[in-house]
């Protein structure tokens, strides 16, 4: 799982989240951003309203929460989601967790202790270059 800091950098660079079952997130507020939640029909459901998307908490697990706006949440994309978002820019993942991606026509490498973080750094560079 990527760090909250990397997830925030991706969001700030322009990555948008459309919550779906299996997605992980934190509530983007100091003091409560340590707990990771998963969107699920059983515990955390996505509700779409004209005013925006709300993540509703069901059952007793998150008894203190009724719901939270998706805008107050921070998506923690999984490794497979990050790879998919890189799309055709993705070239390879090698041992040692080095992702190679083609960004602005040249191959760039991103090495991190975790594969998800390497994908996240590559995606951050890709988004930043696309919007520059």
Confidence at residue 61, expressed as pLDDT on a 0 to 100 scale: 52
Whether the full predicted model's pTM is greater than 0.85, yes or no, is: no
Indicate the burial class of 42 (C-beta count within 10 angstroms; 0-12, 13-18, 19 or more). exposed
The CA–CA distances, whole Å, from 89 to 6, 27, 53, 63, 107 equal 19, 30, 30, 42, 9
> ∠ CA(82), CA(87), CA(90), 5° rounding?
80
Q: In terms of pLDDT, which residue wins out, 110 or 65?
A: 110
Run of H or E residues at 17? none
Token couple for 34: 């340590």
Residue pLDDT, tens place only, 57-102: 766 454 455 667 888 899 999 999 999 999 999 999 998 899 999 9
């Amino acid at each position: 799982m990527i760090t909250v800091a990397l997830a925030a950098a991706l969001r700030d660079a322009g990555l948008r989240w459309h919550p779906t079952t299996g997605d992980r997130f934190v509530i983007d507020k100091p003091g409560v951003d340590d707990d990771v939640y998963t969107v699920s029909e059983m515990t955390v459901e996505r509700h779409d309203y004209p005013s925006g998307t709300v993540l509703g908490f069901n059952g007793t697990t998150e008894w203190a929460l009724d719901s939270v706006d998706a805008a107050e949440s921070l998506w923690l994309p999984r490794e497979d989601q990050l790879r998919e978002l890189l799309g055709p820019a993705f070239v390879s993942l090698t041992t040692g967790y080095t992702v190679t991606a083609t960004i602005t026509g040249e191959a760039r490498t991103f090495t991190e202790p975790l594969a998800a973080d390497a994908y996240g750094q590559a995606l951050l560079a890709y988004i930043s270059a696309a919007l520059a």
